Amino acid sequence: MAGSQLKQLKAALKENGLVGQTNVKRKNTKKAPSESRRDDKQAVLEKIREQFNPFELKVNRKKTDLDTRSTKGTQGKPGISKQIGEDARKAAYEAKKKLQNKNGIFKDRRFGENDSSLTAEEKMLQRFTKERQTQSSKRNLFNLDDDNENAEDDEDDDNAFGLTHYGKSLSLKDDFEQDADLQNNGDDDDDDDEFMKPKKRTLEDRESGNHEPDEDEVIPKKKTKAEVMKEVIAKSKFYKQQRQILQEKVEEKIFDLDEEYDDILQELRTVPKQKKPLEFAANDGINYEKSIKELNLDRRAAPADRTKTDEEIRKERADKMRELEEARLRRMEGLEDDREKGPDELDDDFWIQGSGDEDHEQQEQDDDNDEDEQDDEQDDELIQNDDKPKTTKSLPVICPESHEEFLEILSNYKFEETLTTANKILTSYAPRLQIGNKEKIGIFTVILFQHILYLSESDLVSNEKFSEIQEGLISLVKTLSQKYNFELTESLRDKIEEIHERITETLQIEDAEEFPTISDLTFFSLVGILYSTSDHYHLVVTPTSIIMGEALDQIKFKSINSLIGGIFIAETFLKYQRISKRYVPEVTFFLQKALLSFLPIDLTDDSITSTPDSKFQLPKNLTSSDSIEAFKITDLDNDDLNSNDLIKSSIFNKLISTVDLALDTWKDKSSLLEISSPFIIILSKFIEIYPNYKPLSQLSLKFTRLLKFSKDERKPLTLQSHKKLSIATYAPKFEENFNPERKSYDENRSRQEISKMNKQIKQERKIALRELRKDSRFEARQQIKEKKEKYAEYHSKMAKILNTINTVEGAEKNEYEREKKLRKSKK
């Protein structure tokens, strides 16, 4: 095809029938639809456009063409690819622009919210401090009476902030001499007048030119910058020293007032209120003073939370219980938990059966709200009792620092007022009232725990209110242990060491104090109430379990009193395992030994590993447990138990129930067969001697039934079947296509894969950076385009406004001229 580019284009268009004569009729041709004809026309135009625009096609050629076949990727269309990328970027930019300033996500930017090292109390304290600092800085920004040292020290700073004129004085005089004169108290007004009059005359003489300078008179000269700065620094230091002296005096007064505050407050509490004279009500029956006090003490209205439905309350309670159960299971499995939580709240009803979760939660909420509502209640009482004379005044209660001091305080009250006195101490020394009360309440929690142990061995056990007061103190200690856990934990660990020393002394010395005592058994029970016993490891429960196991295994139970203590320890130990179901061999060993001590004959068997320390004779007519009364823990100090058959029967009945509890605890263990075999043998002998005792036959039948189920579920061990392993393949030592010039070659396959991966990462990084640069350039172009459009729109708008104004002004001017001509013509 010869000719110019334009001629070639016209020829190509004419050849394809796009230009030239188009009304030629062809025979035997069907009329095609307009849509397909239009598509064919577009395809032909695209083909012609590609032929006449060689820059729209990119061809990747090899250095040496050894093969004539076309390979994939040898040709490309960079223009189309670029346009596709531009369209994609434009769509992304438009989508991003639509979402700009429309994001509805709330970000929690509160101080310390994402810091797990801070407790909730520390977070609130830091937020409160920052808020007060912000308010203080805003309040003192324009305070003219505020003497800020930093503002005085930074007088020469160009950026110093002031109300006007950058904080500088409007006077052109130097005020250093003026300040020095003002501080001189020896000058009188007359002297000042006499001093100012000659100075005024001297100025007048100078202006007239008739003045001659005296010898004593010094002509003032202009100060240099260094002298001015020295004077400024001297004044700044002088003022700073004055402020420091004043601040020290104020701090001294504050310190003296702080020291005398407690004494003054104590005296104010003990001073009785003066009786007010009777006041007659007004005619309208309104006490205005009382109404004003009530209005001043009323709380401001605050927005209340939305009332939750019953379904939402149940869901929240279920979620809370589920989270607590998951946390308890993690602790039971020994898994570490990063979150710091208090004691396990699932063990609240450890000893109390039948108390619901709702009652316990309500009790905790009431305990937490007591301190918050105490001030309001006191204020209300003061308002209501203004006109009522008081007959008695309650003495102030001091927070004790030891159990002996607490006993001295309780000596002034009745035994029934123990709970009231404890609550009064907690109310008077609430942590929010004064700094240091938190440590005092922590020590008082330990004292309450010691007082519970003290009451268990005192003579007050026979009091009618003893059980009620003891349960109240235990509930109080449990509530306090969740907030002041550190002091109580340290005290309980010291108590555990003391019990361990007494156990060691009992084992080594025959005449030592007998273990366990009533306070020891009470201590073991309280540990189960206060802490979660299902944890894999616990600072208090774990050492307590160790000394309980040591006592059951090592101590010789030669008397009926010590046997009662051992049965109580075994039962407490089983209650510890009511959730985790861990097997305790010391309990099994003790229960076998206790049963054999009541068996009148000697029994030998390979499965029985324990021997009784002493023998106790049961009554021969032991028939039923219906008439047997349950023994109390206070019977431990009774010396007549060895001769009392009724007590022995109740102890044996308690022992049978403890064995039943152990069976219920470990019935799901795979080793139940080995655990229960000795008990079946011992119980069979007891049934032969006491055939009419129903609990023995019932327990033996239960053992037999569970043992049968355990045998059916047990399967013999078999060898584990492993999948056959294939023979490992190795890379050949010699390579036929080895090329030493290849830098990427490496004998180590893993290192070769790593280098290959690094190369791919580097390549992908380059591609990503290239795309980011393209995106940034595109956004810059779009922003420039938008700004130009915005400016053009603004200028066109302003031009229209100006045109409108000019048009209106021209019309008014023409109207004015016409009116002017009319008036002239009338004249």
Quick one: pLDDT band at residue 165, thresholds 50, 70, 90? Answer: very low
Can you name the residues that pair with 75 across neighbouring β-strands? 59
- Measured distance CA(436)–CA(13) in Å, rounded: 99
At 288-317, the pLDDT tens digits run 777 777 777 766 666 666 788 888 888 888
Task: Average the pLDDT over 320-331 and give the result.
Answer: 80
- The predicted pLDDT at position 334 comes to 65
- The predicted pLDDT at position 768 comes to 95
- pLDDT of residue 795 exceeding 90: yes
At 418-452, the pLDDT tens digits run 888 888 888 888 888 888 888 888 888 888 888 88
- pLDDT of residue 643 exceeding 70: no
Enumerate the domain spans of the chain.
395-483, 484-713
DSSP SS3 for 525: helix
Higher per-residue confidence, 83 vs 39: 83
What is the distance in angstroms between the CA of the first residue and the CA of the last residue of the chain? Answer: 90
- The predicted pLDDT at position 685 comes to 86
Quick one: pLDDT band at residue 760, thresholds 50, 70, 90? Answer: very high
Task: Average the pLDDT over 156-173 and give the result.
Answer: 45
Contact 506, 554 (CB under 8 A): no
- Measured distance CA(51)–CA(496) in Å, rounded: 98
Torsions phi, psi of 122, nearest 5? -65, -40
DSSP 75: E
Quick one: pLDDT band at residue 731, thresholds 50, 70, 90? Answer: low
For 210, half-sphere exposure in the C-beta direction (CA atoms, 13 angstrom radius) is 4
- pLDDT of residue 353 exceeding 80: no
Higher per-residue confidence, 254 vs 60: 254
- pLDDT of residue 388 exceeding 80: no
Task: Average the pLDDT over 196-201 and give the result.
Answer: 44
Quick one: pLDDT band at residue 31, thresholds 50, 70, 90? Answer: low
- pLDDT of residue 240 exceeding 50: yes
Of these ranges, 274-283, 640-649, 678-687, the one predicted with the greatest mean pLDDT is 678-687
Of these ranges, 8-17, 36-45, 242-251, 780-789, the one predicted with the greatest mean pLDDT is 780-789
- The predicted pLDDT at position 636 comes to 65
Q: What's the whole-number average pLDDT of the chain?
A: 75
Higher per-residue confidence, 70 vs 111: 111
At 607-620, the pLDDT tens digits run 777 777 778 877 77
- The predicted pLDDT at position 796 comes to 95
DSSP SS3 for 22: coil
- Measured distance CA(51)–CA(1) in Å, rounded: 13
Of these ranges, 97-111, 119-133, 680-694, 785-799, the one predicted with the greatest mean pLDDT is 785-799
Can you name the residues that pair with 59 across neighbouring β-strands? 75
- The predicted pLDDT at position 287 comes to 73
- The predicted pLDDT at position 155 comes to 43
Q: Which two tokens mark 628?
A: 């047997």
Q: What is the DSSP string of 576-627?
A: HTTTT----HHHHHHHHHHHHHH-SS----TT-----SS--PPPTT---STT
At 96-118, the pLDDT tens digits run 888 787 766 666 777 777 788 88
- Comparing C-alpha atoms, which of 578, 523, 110, 116 is closest to residue 341? 116
Give the range among 53-67, 117-131, 742-756 with minimum mean pLDDT: 53-67
Q: Is the peptide bond before 78 cis (omega within 30 degrees of 0)?
A: no
- Measured distance CA(577)–CA(666) in Å, rounded: 9
Name the pairing type of β-strands 58-59 and 75-76.
antiparallel
Give the range among 112-116, 617-621, 633-637, 705-709 with minimum mean pLDDT: 633-637
In the block, tokens 């490992």 appear at 728
Torsions phi, psi of 208, nearest 5? -80, -15
Of these ranges, 298-307, 362-371, 631-640, the one predicted with the greatest mean pLDDT is 298-307
Give the range among 37-51, 325-339, 522-536 with minimum mean pLDDT: 325-339
**The 3-state secondary structure of 637-689, one letter per residue:** HCCCCCCCHHHHHHHHHHHHHHHHHHHHHCCCCCCHHHHHHHHHHHHHHHHHH
Quick one: pLDDT band at residue 798, thresholds 50, 70, 90? Answer: very high
CB contact set of 243 (below 8 Å; sequence gap of 6+): 147, 149, 152
- pLDDT of residue 206 exceeding 60: no
- pLDDT of residue 382 exceeding 90: no
Higher per-residue confidence, 478 vs 365: 478
Dihedral sign for Cα 505, 510, 513, 515, please: positive
At 475-517, the pLDDT tens digits run 888 888 888 888 888 889 999 898 888 888 888 876 656 678 8
- Measured distance CA(569)–CA(562) in Å, rounded: 11
Contact 505, 512 (CB under 8 A): yes
Give the range among 3-7, 99-103, 593-597 with minimum mean pLDDT: 99-103
CB 445: neighbour CB atoms within 10 A?
A: 23
- pLDDT of residue 211 exceeding 60: no
Residues belonging to the chain: 827
Task: Average the pLDDT over 696-723 and give the result.
Answer: 84
What percent of the chain is predicted at pLDDT more than 70? 70
Q: Which two tokens mark 714?
A: 């047990």
Quick one: pLDDT band at residue 692, thresholds 50, 70, 90? Answer: confident
Quick one: pLDDT band at residue 271, thresholds 50, 70, 90? Answer: low
- The predicted pLDDT at position 71 comes to 61
- The predicted pLDDT at position 811 comes to 87
Q: Find the farthest-apart pair of alpha carbons in the chain and give their distance in angstroms, rounded.
A: 157
Of these ranges, 83-97, 443-457, 761-775, 809-823, the one predicted with the greatest mean pLDDT is 761-775
What percent of the chain is predicted at pLDDT more than 90? 9
CA 271 vs CA 265, 274, 396, 736: distances in Å: 10, 9, 12, 109
Task: Average the pLDDT over 75-103 and give the result.
Answer: 85
Of these ranges, 31-45, 68-82, 458-472, the one predicted with the greatest mean pLDDT is 458-472
